[in-house]
């Protein structure tokens, strides 16, 4: 079997270009003191609070949690009013499931490290008869600058963590924001 020298050259150049495409400083800019964590979906709100409280993390946001309600499906307006009244619920989406049998709730949270927000969410869960779905979600925490690598290494050993990495800005074409 004869291997053409041009093929070997093309292969070598593609390998070299792949190495250069790995996360270089030009492609992303790490945000000091921020860690992005992927959580396993089975970790309930209460277990999340225990985790945040144990490590004393300041929580910037939680995204991707999903709940369903046992309330009748004509309760959308009631649920919307209940969720709108809380500053730690930064955004939410309500909809009926495809079969129309339940209401699905997709909230985004801020400042879940504050005990009053944790207690308020527990009350909302009870009042709106919410059950958390087993769906992976993410958490953004604030840590002391320079401690990111140490904390990430520790977090990666926990069974309910899917990933832990520094939060970063990603370079986008024609983006002035990245230049700041």
Please give the pLDDT value at position 66: 93
Please give the pLDDT value at position 29: 81
Is the pLDDT at 9 greater than 90? The verdict is no
Determine, yes or no, domain membership for 56. yes
Determine, yes or no, domain membership for 17. no
Mean pLDDT for 4-26 is: 59
Q: What is the pTM of this model?
A: 0.74
Mean pLDDT for 19-30 is: 55
Determine, yes or no, domain membership for 21. no
Q: How many domains does the chain have?
A: 1
Residue that the structure tokens 């309330």 belong to: 71
31 confidence band (pLDDT: 50, 70, 90): confident
6 confidence band (pLDDT: 50, 70, 90): low
- pLDDT tens column, 110-164: 998 999 999 999 999 999 999 999 989 999 999 999 999 999 999 999 999 999 9
Determine, yes or no, domain membership for 13. no
Is the pLDDT at 48 greater than 70? The verdict is yes
Determine, yes or no, domain membership for 165. yes
For residue 162, the enclosing domain spans 26-179
Determine, yes or no, domain membership for 16. no
Please give the pLDDT value at position 178: 47
Determine, yes or no, domain membership for 15. no
> Is residue 43 exposed (0-12), middle (13-18) or buried (19+ Cβ within 10 Å)?
buried
Determine, yes or no, domain membership for 5. no
According to the 3-state scheme, what is the secondary structure of the chain?
CCCCHHHHHHHHHHHHHHHHCCCCCCCEEEEEEEEEEEECCCCCHHHHHHHHHHHCCEEEEEECCCEEECCCHHHHHHHHHHHHCCCCEEEEEEEECCCCCCEEEEEEECCCCCHHHHHHHHHHHHHCCEEECCCCEEEEEECCCCCHHHHHHHHCCCCCEEEEEEEEEECCCCCCHHHC
């Amino acid at each position: 079997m004869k291997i053409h020298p041009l093929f070997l050259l093309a292969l070598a150049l593609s390998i070299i270009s792949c190495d250069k495409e790995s996360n270089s400083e030009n492609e992303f800019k790490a945000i000091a003191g921020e860690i992005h964590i992927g959580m396993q979906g089975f970790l309930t709100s209460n277990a999340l609070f225990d985790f945040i409280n144990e490590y004393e993390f300041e929580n910037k946001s939680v995204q991707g949690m999903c709940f369903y309600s046992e309330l009748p499906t004509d309760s959308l307006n009631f649920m919307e009013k209940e969720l709108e009244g809380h500053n730690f619920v930064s955004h939410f989406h309500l909809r009926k499931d495809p079969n129309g049998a339940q209401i699905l709730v997709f909230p985004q949270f801020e400042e879940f490290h504050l005990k009053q927000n944790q207690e308020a969410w527990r009350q909302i869960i009870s009042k709106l008869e919410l059950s958390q779905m087993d769906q992976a979600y993410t958490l953004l925490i604030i840590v002391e600058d320079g401690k990111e690598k140490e904390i990430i290494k520790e977090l990666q050993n926990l069974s309910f963590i899917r990933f832990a990495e520094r939060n970063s800005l990603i370079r986008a074409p024609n983006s002035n924001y990245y230049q700041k």
